[in-house]
Amino acid sequence: MRAAGWGPIKEEQYDKDSVEEWLLQGEPIYLKITQQLFNTDGKLKYFSQSEWNDHWITKVELHDESEDEPEEPEFDEEPPDEPDEEPPDEPDEEPPDDDGL
């Protein structure tokens, strides 16, 4: 794992159901491991295909809670017309006479 850029997370920072967690260096991603997959020598234990469960390992993306999705803007007035809508009819007004001298 270390050779691929992963580093172990301190045990006191694990999620409550994790047995191991590994953080990807330089990325906001960690692996959450909920089953003991390695023996005491750090080597991967053997699991047959029927024993294996993909849910034992979860890739979790971290996000900064201060960078929440921006809210949709609120308008003080009516929102702008949809582009497909026709503009409202203008009031009937006679153009000014040029003869008005």
Contact 36, 43 (CB under 8 A): no
Residue 70 confidence (pLDDT): 44
The per-residue pLDDT for range 50-87, each reduced to its tens digit, is 999 999 999 999 876 655 554 433 333 444 454 555 55
DSSP label at 44?
Answer: B
Q: For residue 79, what pLDDT is reported? A: 42
Strand partners, 6: 24
- Residue 60 is predicted with a pLDDT of 94
Q: Hey, what's the torsion of the CAs at 37, 38, 39, 45, to 10 degrees?
A: 60
The whole-number pLDDT of residue 48 equals 96
Burial code (b: 16+ CB inside 10 Å, e: under 16) for 8-40 equals ebeeeebeeebebbbbbeeeeebbbbbeeeeee
Greater confidence (70 vs 101) lies with: 101
Q: Which two tokens stand for residue 64?
A: 């900064």
The percent of residues above 90 in pLDDT, for the chain, comes to 45
